[in-house]
């Protein structure tokens, strides 16, 4: 058991690395890569810790110093794995709630286009979950429509430029609805998020609303809200 401890720990660590790289390089789907990453860091780390502790118990009393050293190495690696996985999530997501669809207008969330216009939406429920509204109000109270002095056509053009400047891929535009539809990817695992930007007249100016929705998972570690803030920051900059 002591001799196997560092091997098992390194296998779990390798699963973490493979999960990140395979998703980032597009070898596997983002959720598959993330699952491997989480399994290696959490389940693998726990299992390797148990094996290491058993190895330490079996080598107590100085009967096998080489085996004990291996068990200690395995334990150190095993204990680091959950921290490696959970640490970045806590730093990036903080206390973000487990939701993945954020909008600046909860009363009338911008709607995504019909699948006939954007094929990516086919066979997916693109409606806004009503149960998310009070959670967004509680955790993202700073998010609100952006009001600009420009007329709607000019505001729409500025919004497109800002979106492209942030690296979003614009999938389609609807002039009558004054909306465009885009997608963006997260950095590490390349999760795809869908975005709709809607412009409406607002007195002598315009009101811009945004909705950002993750395709996978239940939570987003605050990514969608950060994207909306970055977009508004680019428009105001």
Q: What is the pLDDT of residue 217?
A: 87
Q: What are 101's strand-pairing partners?
A: 213
Total length of the chain: 237
Between CA 18 and CA 27 the distance in angstroms is 10
Confidence of residue 218 (pLDDT cuts 50, 70, 90): confident
3-state secondary structure of 77: helix
Between CA 198 and CA 182 the distance in angstroms is 12
In the block, residue with structure tokens 């955790």: 139
Task: Let me know: does 159 contact 199? Beta carbons within 8 Å.
Answer: yes
Q: Give buried/exposed letters for 138-156 (b at 16+ CB in 10 A, else e).
A: ebbeebebbebebebeebb
Q: What is the mean pLDDT of the chain?
A: 93
Q: What is the pLDDT of residue 62?
A: 77
Between CA 230 and CA 225 the distance in angstroms is 9
What is the reported pTM? Answer: 0.86
Retrieve residue 97's tokens: 């709630």
Q: Round the CA-based radius of gyration of the chain to a whole number and report it.
A: 23
Between CA 174 and CA 170 the distance in angstroms is 11
Q: What is the pLDDT of residue 2?
A: 78
| 93: pLDDT strictly greater than 70 | no
| 94: pLDDT strictly greater than 80 | no
- Residue 114: DSSP 8-state: P
Q: Helix, strand, coil: what percent of the chain each, to 5? A: 50, 15, 30
């Amino acid at each position: 058991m002591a001799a196997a401890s560092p091997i098992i720990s390194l296998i779990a660590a390798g699963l973490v690395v493979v999960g990140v790289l395979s998703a980032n390089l597009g070898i596997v789907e983002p959720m598959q890569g993330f699952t491997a990453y989480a399994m290696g860091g959490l389940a693998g780390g726990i299992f390797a810790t148990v094996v290491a502790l058993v190895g330490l118990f079996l080598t107590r009393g100085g009967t096998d110093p080489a085996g004990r050293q291996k068990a200690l190495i395995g334990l150190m690696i095993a204990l680091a794995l959950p921290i490696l996985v959970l640490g970045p999530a806590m730093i990036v997501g903080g206390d973000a709630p487990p939701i993945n669809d954020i909008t600046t207008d909860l009363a009338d969330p911008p709607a995504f286009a019909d699948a006939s216009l954007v094929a990516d939406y086919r066979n997916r429920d693109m409606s806004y979950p009503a149960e998310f509204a009070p959670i967004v109000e509680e955790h993202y109270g700073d998010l609100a429509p952006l009001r600009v002095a420009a007329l709607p056509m000019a505001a729409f053009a500025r919004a497109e430029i800002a979106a492209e400047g942030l690296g979003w891929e614009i999938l389609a535009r609807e002039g009558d609805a004054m909306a465009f539809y885009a997608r963006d990817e997260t950095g590490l695992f390349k999760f795809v998020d869908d975005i709709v930007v809607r412009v409406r007249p607002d007195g002598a100016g315009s009101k811009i609303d945004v909705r950002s929705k993750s395709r996978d998972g239940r939570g987003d570690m605050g990514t969608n809200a950060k994207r909306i803030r970055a977009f508004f920051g680019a428009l105001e900059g």
